[in-house]
Structure 1
Amino acid sequence: MKERLFKEIDNAPLVLFRIFFGFLLACETFGAIATGWVRDNFIVPKFTFSHIGMEWLQPLPGSGMYYYFAVMGVLGMLIMAGYKYRYSMGLFTVMWAAVYFMQKTSYNNHYYLLVLVCLMMCFLPANRYASADVKVNPALKKLTMPAWCSWVMIVMVSIVYFYATLAKFYPGWLNGTFARQLLNGSVKNDALRAVMTQKWFYLFITYSGIVFDLLVVPLLLFKRTRTIAFIASLIFHIFNSITLQIGIFPFFALSFAVFFFPPEKIRSIFFRKKPVVLNYGFSKDGAGALAYFFIPFLIIQLLLPLRHYLIKGDVLWTEEGHRLSWRMMLRTRNGGTRFRVVEKATHKDLFYDAYSDLTPKQEAAMGTRPDMIWQMAQRIKQEFKTREQDVAVYAITNVSVNNDPYKALIDPTTDLAAVSWNYYGHCTWILLYDSKDNPIK
């Protein structure tokens, strides 16, 4: 096993991935400005719902976030060119991680995947060929890399697909409910939507999604099935790109395919002038990074998605353990929340228009997600504290998942301003869907 990991292979796959990756990072960040995503999520809102514990991460004032994303776009191009690669990749990683943790109103799994892959790329020798760094310093040039450089990427993408498959084994997916709702809401063309929301079509999408996520990695690993698997990947991801409009993710997912094909094949197609290596040996380059970063890192990624099994309640309802778990596009949440603010000294209800501080998108997201409801209650508490009033904050919720019957999500008798968030277990004030104390509304 150790010999296979440290056997030298052509570094064409990693170099090509760096070029694809940098291009996609530039598209993601410049595109976020052009499409209004930056405006809607960082400029217009008065504040953002950061990840719990990182509330200090808030957008730059004024037009600052436009410049922030522009800098990331430039860094993406520098990564693509392989210029000052370690610095460019490291700085982009820090800046993108800040963006990810700064807001969750527009949470997307591929934003999290970008954080992880950026971090991995910081430790990989992706600038040893076809890079500006090599032009400046020819001593950096190298034609090979240890095989583990490809394997860590294969393991990472395998984890993503495995947990994406596992998450689909629940009634709302298996009976086609979510696929029908997703297609009905995403497809704008009336004639196309009429076809796609027919039972035979959405059930085909439902089960082909499971089969694809389960088998694509094993099929890409074997020579006999690799081409078929790659063609299936093209069809699957391009279909998702057209119908779901999920940004760079389909192309990002496709870019991992370079690690499954023989390195010599990648070199012969994309780097025809690259010298052929006649004798591959063994290389201990990066052995420390593999042992002390990549192996612990991948073990953590393997364990994190399992944590919701240790938390009481259905994760689809409570959302506890939902993030960082590759639970991608599994449910729709509808409903809303209103807050009751009570002055503790007088026991009088106080008027507070919580939604005057929120954009419509923030209001929709906050109204059905426990962590954001709790954060809003904490914000209301602080707002009244500035007025020298000590208040209790109660949430009256009415929520439905996948168009199931509406129920209360939060215990209306719990003062959310006085309770803490449980990072590692179930918050008892989040009512379980099947609880006897939570009747259908």
Structure 2
Amino acid sequence: MQDRDIKVIFDKKNIVEVENISKVYDKHTWALKKINLKIGRGECISLLGSNGSGKTTLLRILANNLEKTTGTIKYNFKEENILKSIGFQKREQAWPVGFKVKDINQLWYNIYQVEDLEWISILKDVFGITEIENKQLSKLSIIKLQMYAIFLALINKPELLLIDDLSSGIDFKYEEKISRFLKDYISNGNTVVLNYPSNYFLENTTTRIIYINDGEVFDDKSISDVRGEFRTISDYTKSIFREEIIKENRIKNKSKLFININSKLEEIISVIQGIIDDLSREEHPNAKINNTINNSYAAVLDLKTNIDNLSISYIDSAGIKIISTKIKTTIKTFNKVYLVSPYQKYEKTFRNIEKYLQKELKRTFNNEMVIVKGDTLSSTISESEKKQLAKLKEKYIKEEQKTIRKKILKQQFKKIESSTFKKGNE
């Protein structure tokens, strides 16, 4: 159902204007706080920020897929029908069992009355659809489903394309194809908004970065301003991350548990940044290896942001689970770092980082955490400590049982004694 505070007009400059948009869940949880944005035609915007900062919520509201709590949205489309003017790729993919890709394709062609077969042919080539058309959707990998969802979002030639998931797992040849396609797409006056894309799309496709923190716009810069002020986008994200942490630290103090973890992750980030700096000075850089290392840098930076957010908020099992998942994702990113000559000198560094993530960090967040009043007092319980604790519990239970039995026997003895006394008096 279309929101009554949505206006659709045509404007040559801005395709969307957002005024004081807020979203509140359960009457007290703020997902977005008074967001004001003007999104121009021909822009490719990347939304950055940690998990839970409000990026997906903002995308869903822009897609008219989620009702906002307050504020107004003005769409400046050529087409009055919003559904035809917006293409939205959702992160979550749920398809009926037994359907093949070609079945869903035909359904979409019918819904949007597709006649431009040349456009469909271009999309199929860019997103690798032809090779999966006869496959069942339930058999596709997450990456293939991700690309297929973007294909479907583009079928009706939307003026505004919103992509919630464009990860680093996409094959390099498709990264190049998709990047070239998106550049052509925005050059024709269309607009693309990406939710925290891989480093490749940040460097090669993005024209503007909007950094969301705690439901608010923390920073908003054109890519030219970012490159003018910072040497690389990686430098920018590193700087903005530090500013974000400084702001958060003024609100709450970090938990002592996370000091060592944050220190180690800062060290890792610094080491990878040094390697990136070395590679940037090469006369003939290897694009694939640079991209892989940049992705590992971005993964650790994102992981640290999430751990830091957890350290200054209410620590619960859900938060721990999110970090555990993020650690596994980061480990997978490092598994993809395969360095051949002349880059083998960095191999040991990446394997040591991977070892730390796998052996220490992953184990820390997989073990039981001791939570008291929303804070962590003890980080982990070893196996020997668990066994010792179990023995102490067993001993405690036995002692309690003895005490209870003594009390019961004492009460029974008093009853017998009282009864005997009454009979003697009679």
* TM-score, normalized by the shorter chain, greater than 0.5: no
Give me the TM-score of the superposition, normalised by structure 1: 0.24
Bigger CA radius of gyration: 2
Q: Which structure exhibits the higher relative contact order, with contacts defined as CA atoms closer than 8 Å and separated by 6 or more residues?
A: 1
The structure with more strand, counted as a fraction of residues:
2
